[in-house]
Structure 1
Amino acid sequence: MRDISPDQTIILAKMRHIEELERLSICTGFVETIGLIIHQIQAERGASCLYLASAGQRFGKERSEIIEKNQSLELQFREALQRHLSHNNQVDAKQLTLISWILLGFDQLKSLRHQVTLHKISFPDCIQSFNRFIGSLISLIFDITDNAVNSQISTYLLALYNLVQGKEFAGQERAVGSYMFGSGHIQQEHQHKLLELIALQERHFELFSQFGGNPLQKAWTASKDTSTHHLHQQYRDKLTHAKDGQAVQAHDGDAWFELCSQRLSDIWHMQCQLINGMHDMLETLVSNAKSDLAKTRQYLEKMRRHPATLDSAFFNLSIPVENAYTFLAHDNQHPYPMESIVSLLQQQSQQIAEIENELSETKKALAERKQIERAKGVLMSTLGISEVEAYKVMRSTAMEQNRKIIDVADNILAKQKSPSPRH
Structure 2
Amino acid sequence: MSQHAMPSTLRFLLAARRSELHGLEALASTCELATLVSKLVHVLQKERGSSNLYLCGGQDALRQTLAGLSSDASAVEEEVRRFLDRLEPDATRSAGKARLLNCIAHALYRLDELPRTRRAIRDRRVAAEEAGAVFTRLIASLFALVFEAADSSLDAGVTRLLVALLNFMQGKELCGQERAYGVMGYTAGYFTEAQKARLLELADLQKRCFETFAQYAGADALAVWERVEQGAGPALRMRDMALRTSAAERVDAGLAELWFGLCTERIDAMRAVESLLAEALTLQCHRRIVETRAELDNHRLLLSRFADRASDDTPAMLFQLQGRILDVPPQDGVGEAMERSILDLMREQAQRLRQSDDALALARGALEERRRVERAKWLLVSRHGLSEQAAHDQLQRVAMDRRRSLDDVARQVLAELDGAGLPDDAAAG
TM-score of the superposition, structure 1-length normalised? 0.81
TM-aligned CA distance change 1:378 to 1:79, over 3 Å: closer
- Out of 45, 55, 67, the position equivalent to 1:64 is 67
Contact 1:337 1:343 in 2 (8 A): no
Indicate conservation of the 8 Å contact 2:373/2:410, yes or no.
yes
Paired residues for 1:171-250 under 5 Å: 171-226=176-231, 229-250=232-253
Structure 2 unmatched ranges of 5 or more: 311-327, 385-389, 419-429
Q: Name the amino acid aligned to 1:52.
A: L
Matches of 1:341 and 1:310 in 2, distance apart?
Answer: 15
1:392 is aligned with what amino acid? M
* Alpha-carbon distance change, 309 to 32 in structure 1, aligned in 2, over 3 angstroms: farther
Q: Which amino acid aligns with 2:186?
A: F
1:186–1:245 CA contact under 8 A, matched in 2: no
* TM superposition shift of 1:35: 1.0
1:292 equivalenced with 2:295 (yes/no): yes
SS in 2 for 1:126: helix
Q: Tell me, which stretches of 5 or more residues in structure 1 are unaligned?
A: 315-335, 399-404, 418-423
Q: Distance in 2 between matches of 1:20 and 1:114?
A: 43
Q: Given the superposition, is the C-alpha separation of residues 296 and 62 from structure 1 closer, same or farther in structure 2, using an over 3 Å criterion?
A: same
- Gap change, CA 1:183 and 1:310, over 3 Å in 2: farther
8 Å Cα contact 1:181-1:249 kept in structure 2:
yes
Shift of 1:301: 2.3
2:348 corresponding residue in structure 1: 347
Q: Is the 8 A contact 1:27 1:84 kept in 2?
A: no
* CA shift for structure 1 position 274: 0.2
Report what 1:158 is aligned to: 163
Task: Please give the alpha-carbon distance, in whole angstroms, between the structure 1 residues aligned to 2:331 and 2:368.
Answer: 44
Give yes or no for the alignment of 1:253 onto 2:256: yes
Residue aligning to 1:391? 399
How far apart are residue 304 of structure 1 and its match?
3.9
TM-aligned CA deviation for residue 363 of structure 1 = 2.5
Aligned partners of 2:372 and 2:291: how far apart in 1? 36
Measure how far apart 1:44 and its partner are: 1.0
Question: Following TM superposition, by how much is the alpha carbon of 1:77 offset from its aligned partner in structure 2, in angstroms?
Answer: 0.8
Change (3 A) 1:181 1:411: closer
Q: Supply the AA of the counterpart residue of 1:39.
A: H
Identify if the C-alpha distance between structure 1 residues 280 and 248 changes in structure 2 by more than 3 Å, giving closer, same or farther.
same
User: Quick one: higher RCO (CA 8 Å, sep 6+), 1 or 2?
Assistant: 2
For the residue of structure 1 that corresponds to 2:340, the secondary structure is coil
Measured after TM superposition, the shift of residue 57 of structure 1 is 1.9
**Residue 319 of structure 2 corresponds to which residue in structure 1?**
none
Moved more, 140-149 or 169-178: 140-149
Question: CA-to-partner distance for each residue in 1:125-163, whole Å, 9 max, x for gaps?
Answer: 111111111111111121122221222111111111111
Give the distance between the partners of 2:260 and 2:97, measured in 1 at CA. Answer: 40
Q: Could you tell me how far 1:214 is from its partner in structure 2? A: 3.3
Alignment deviations for residues 308-342 of structure 1 (CA, whole Å, 9 cap, x no partner): 68688x9xxxxxxxxxxxxxxxxxxxxx9953433
Q: 1:184-203, CA deviations, whole angstroms, 9 ceiling, x for partnerless residues?
A: 22322222221111111111
2:173 paired residue among 159, 168, 177:
168
- The reply on whether 1:100 has 2:96 as its aligned counterpart is no
**Normalising by structure 2, what TM-score?**
0.80
- 1:19 paired with 2:22, answer yes
Contact 1:22 1:286 in 2 (8 A): yes
Q: Provide the residue aligned with 1:142 in structure 2.
A: 147
Distance in 2, Cα, partners of 1:117 & 1:17: 50
Cα distance, 1:408 vs structure 2: 7.6
Give how far 1:80 is off: 1.4
Which range moved further: 355-364 or 158-167? 355-364
**2:252 match: secondary structure:** coil
Tell me: CA distance 1:86–1:352, structure 2 relative to 1, closer, same or farther (3 Å): farther
User: How far, CA to CA, are the matches of 2:270 and 2:210 in structure 1?
Assistant: 10
Change over 3 Å in CA distance of 1:91–1:192 after alignment to 2: same
Deviations 1:17-48 (A, max 9, x none): 22222222122112111111111111111111
Change (3 A) 1:397 1:271: closer
Please give the per-residue CA displacement for 1:102-121, whole angstroms capped at 9, x wherever unaligned. Answer: 11111111111111112111
Q: Which one is further off, 45-54 or 293-302?
A: 293-302
> Residues 170 and 197 of structure 1 are in contact (CA less than 8 Å); yes or no, is this contact kept in structure 2?
yes
- Alpha-carbon shift at residue 371 of structure 1 (Å): 5.0
Amino acid aligned to 2:397:
E
Q: Which 10-residue stretch deviates more, 84-93 or 26-35?
A: 84-93
Aligned mate of 1:116, from 106, 116, 121 = 121
- CA gap of 1:252–1:92, structure 2 versus 1, over 3 A, is same
The residue type paired with residue 106 of structure 2 is: W
- For 1:407 and 1:309, locate their aligned partners in 2 and report how far apart those are by CA, in whole Å: 61
Structure 1 partner of 2:55:
52
Secondary structure of 2:213 counterpart: helix
Aligned with 2:200: secondary structure? helix
Q: CA deviation at 1:209?
A: 1.0
Conserved? CA contact 1:182–1:250, under 8 Å: yes
Given residue 116 of structure 2, which amino acid in structure 1 is its aligned partner? S
Q: Which residue of 1 aligns with 2:317?
A: none
Task: Give me the identity figure in percent.
Answer: 24
Give the drift of 1:78: 0.9
**Residue number in structure 1 paired with 2:81:** 78
Shift of 1:248: 1.1
Q: 2: CA distance between counterparts of 1:271 and 1:84?
A: 25
Deviation at 1:386, TM superposition (A): 4.3
- 1:218-259, Cα deviation, whole Å (9 max, x unpaired): 433343223xx1111111111023335421111222221111
Partner of 2:363: 362
Partner of 2:275: 272
| Counterpart Cα distance in 2 of 1:416 and 1:81 | 30
Maintained 8 Å contact 1:145/1:157 = yes
